[in-house]
Structure 1
Amino acid sequence: MVTAQRLPASLTPLDAALAAVLRDLAPVQPVELPPADALRCVAAEMPALRAYPLHDVAVADGWPMRANDLVGASSYAPLPLAGLPVWVAAGAAMPDGTDCVVDANAIDTSGPLPQVLAEAIPGQGVRRAGSDIAAGRAVMPAGEPLLPRSLLLARAAGLELLRVRRPRLRIVNICNGQLTAQLVADIARLAGAEVVYAEATPDVTEIADALETAGCDLIITIGGTGVGHTDAAVNALARCGTLLAHGIALQPGRTAAVGRIDATPVVALPGGPDQAFAAWWAIALPVLDRLSGRRPRQTLALPLERKIASGVGIAEVVLLTRQQGPQKDFWTPLAIGDLSLDAIARAEGLLIVPGAAEGFAAGTVVDAYMLRE
């Protein structure tokens, strides 16, 4: 007979549960990926870039010239040339001995000799060597996610492979929570993880078989963490490894659990999208960031437009939107503890009120995680 899951008499504080699953957890080893596959992965140490462009290049189509040779040229005092210079297209290397590009209509070619009708200054119409990328610059500091603008630098500098940390995440979906599983998979990929997906029925043995650690740095289970007749994820985790905490002082998400199978951390998320989203941000994402070697995530400190009331002893997740005031911006609470899907979609910031706090008064400056970049 299978023993039913039960929450402990007292919930584990969020900080204690997080510290337990993070203990002795180190970043994964870097891998080398082409830029196309490295988007949103966290940068590891990378070689210094070479200068770009390597040579002076034309910014626009025109005639490459030497500015000092054109001093005094105008439509009233045209400067005759022995012959036409070589035409350059935008992006082409500048010929030796030239330092400016003049427009097509700046040279009159109607007569027997071409004539320059305008002066120019050194650097006009030219992008200098190394002006886009200085030699020795890094693509991105280690610990930062690689965004499209960073990959632009890498491609311009000719890097074919980038050193990144890309944790391998295994999602085990239990009890048919497709909506939640898709949400977690999407935000995990957005955080730079490589995601492998599996499903299991609410059976302890089948779930245990799906908790495969080979080729995996983090396991996320979805669903089956409650105390219903078909909830079995926590019992399966306890069978396969070590259950560190089940029943966490977090609202929403109190039925979440954390554990280890050998050295692999496991975070068991509740099946509801709101509960899984909260537990992901409070527990699973810090674990993934540790594995990625990521620097602390961006926060924004703004005063609260109105107070946040929270119960003592339970960490509560608050969704916020940014409002513009006449003199300064404010965080406006969208949802506290009970998160609708609409609030999750609209939120611009996320705040976790510590369990020791009773909330925050209106006007209090709070640091919220940014949900949008």
Structure 2
Amino acid sequence: MRTVEEHRAAVAALLPPLGEEEVPLAEAHGRVLARDVAAAVALPGFDNSAMDGYAARWTEVSRTPVTLPVADDIPAGRTDVVPLAPGTVQRIMTGAPLPPGADVVVPVELTDGGTDVVEIRDAPPAGSHLRAAGEDIAEGTVALEAGSPLGATQLGLAAAVGVTVLPVRRRPQVLVLSTGSELVAPGQPLLPGQIYESNSRLLVAAVEEAGGVARRLHFVPDDVEQFLTTVRAEVASADLLITSGGVSAGAYEVVKDAFRELGTVEFVKVPMQPGGPQGAGTVDGVPVVTLPGNPVSAFVSFEVFVRPALRRAMGHASPDRLHVPARLTGPLRSPAGRRQFLRGRFDGGQVSQVGGPGSHLVAHLARANCLVVVPQDVTELSAGAEVDVVLIEGALQ
């Protein structure tokens, strides 16, 4: 028997930090930053206007109404801005450089909009509608921190501060293999006792959502020799092998039988539901994690053990899913001695259970957007009780 936390640590220990590589900005989406990146330029790079209006000296416009000549036009992108002459204003556009001498921008809405001479009917306080050079970020300071996932806003910032290449962690190469003589490829005719193979599709997508690169191996029947031949022909190219099925206590458990012969994979029971039987170790020096075969068990096991280990190896500063408290919309029961990961639907601080606890209920899993965590010493919760909810990214509406 191994606790959830102990098995999480065992799986994490199999995956050391992945190497670093540099990629162009255009190829960095979804990657994880390996090192801090400094701003090559300040943001803003120069004092500029936050409004369309008139650059002025506040002392000359503070007593309104006042009429002043418009000495110049400053559109965004102009590079030859001249100082503001006393007793004049300059018409200025949002983002345009502020002329030396100006200390306020009067919005066009407070004027008559004149182009040669303008009447200023009201004036904001001194310093209004100005963006100071470097007020967002100073040149040379850290713009993006190591461990940051590179999404739209991070890539936008990188481009804004003049970065063209980013240091990122290498994406893990993951092999996914399902086992079971009952499995048939989707689309093929089913005989009595057969089912369509779905775990590999589920797990490949889960690996990719976590940031890895996944490849399906053709699922194999419950044959130890064929299983080992398939694994050893491919495993050297991977950072991790994930198997599903063949790890329970019954007969024909091909994964357990095959890897026990090698003596490098440890099989344990974890007090959780779904996903009790687990395994972790190495095959020919390559990390392997063995998951149960029921689809919900495979998914929950991946979420609890594999996903955080992959993301930690990729350098994520926050490898775990977001946990939030929520109130149950209805009562629930849970067997003693096992930590439950129930499918749920989270909305507005409340969570409702989706379907029963059965590990075969794939349709209910597809409708869930979170996992409701029930501690193993809790057997009953009433409606309104607060529970820990794990938000499943990508499933939220």
- CA-to-aligned-CA distance 1:201-231 (integer Å, 9 cap, x gap): 33224322344133x3322224454688876
> Which one of 347, 367, 372 corresponds to residue 346 of structure 1?
367
Deviation (angstroms), 1:334: 2.3
Gaps of 5+ in 2: 77-92, 186-195
| Number of residue pairs aligned between Structure 1 and Structure 2 | 351
Deviation (angstroms), 1:46: 0.8
Cα–Cα, structure 1 residues 93 and 206, in superposed 2: closer, same or farther, change >3 Å? farther
Matched, 1:186 2:205: yes
Residue 22 of structure 1 is matched in structure 2 by: 12
> Which one of 198, 204, 207 corresponds to residue 227 of structure 2?
204
Residue 147 of structure 1 is matched in structure 2 by: 151
Secondary structure class of the residue paired with 1:199: coil
Read off the aligned partner of 1:348 and give its amino acid letter.
N
Matched, 1:357 2:377: yes
Residue 108 of structure 2 is matched in structure 1 by: 103
Matched, 1:370 2:384: no
Secondary structure class of the residue paired with 1:189: helix
The CA RMSD measured in Å over matched residues stands at: 3.6
CA contact (8 A) 1:46 1:142 kept: yes
CA contact (8 A) 1:170 1:198 kept: no
Equivalent runs, 1:234-249 vs 2, <5 Å: 234-238=256-260, 242-245=264-267, 248-249=270-271
Q: With structure 1 as the length reference, what TM-score do the two structures score?
A: 0.76
Please identify, of 114-123 and 312-321, the stretch whose mean Cα deviation from structure 2 is larger. Answer: 114-123
Cα–Cα, structure 1 residues 115 and 167, in superposed 2: closer, same or farther, change >3 Å? closer
Cα–Cα, structure 1 residues 218 and 67, in superposed 2: closer, same or farther, change >3 Å? farther
Cα–Cα, structure 1 residues 162 and 116, in superposed 2: closer, same or farther, change >3 Å? same
Gaps of 5+ in 1: 1-10
CA contact (8 A) 1:304 1:330 kept: yes
CA contact (8 A) 1:57 1:93 kept: yes
> Which one of 142, 162, 176 corresponds to residue 172 of structure 1?
176
Read off the aligned partner of 1:20 and give its amino acid letter.
A
CA distance in 2, matches of 1:167, 1:337: 34
Matched, 1:78 2:67: yes
> Which one of 313, 335, 340 corresponds to residue 311 of structure 1?
335
CA contact (8 A) 1:218 1:264 kept: yes
Cα–Cα, structure 1 residues 256 and 353, in superposed 2: closer, same or farther, change >3 Å? same
Equivalent runs, 1:1-373 vs 2, <5 Å: 13-23=3-13, 25-49=15-39, 50-72=41-63, 74=65, 77-81=66-70, 83-88=71-76, 89-99=93-103, 100=105, 102-103=107-108, 106-109=112-115, 114-121=117-124, 122-133=126-137, 138-174=142-178, 175=183, 176=185, 179-202=198-221, 203-214=226-237, 216-225=238-247, 232-238=254-260, 242-245=264-267, 248-261=270-283, 263-294=285-316, 295=318, 296-322=320-346, 329-338=349-358, 340-354=361-375, 356-362=376-382, 363-372=384-393
Q: With structure 2 as the length reference, what TM-score do the two structures score?
A: 0.72
Cα–Cα, structure 1 residues 45 and 234, in superposed 2: closer, same or farther, change >3 Å? same
CA contact (8 A) 1:257 1:269 kept: yes
Deviation (angstroms), 1:320: 2.4
Read off the aligned partner of 2:21 and give its amino acid letter.
V
Q: Percent of aligned pairs with the same residue?
A: 27
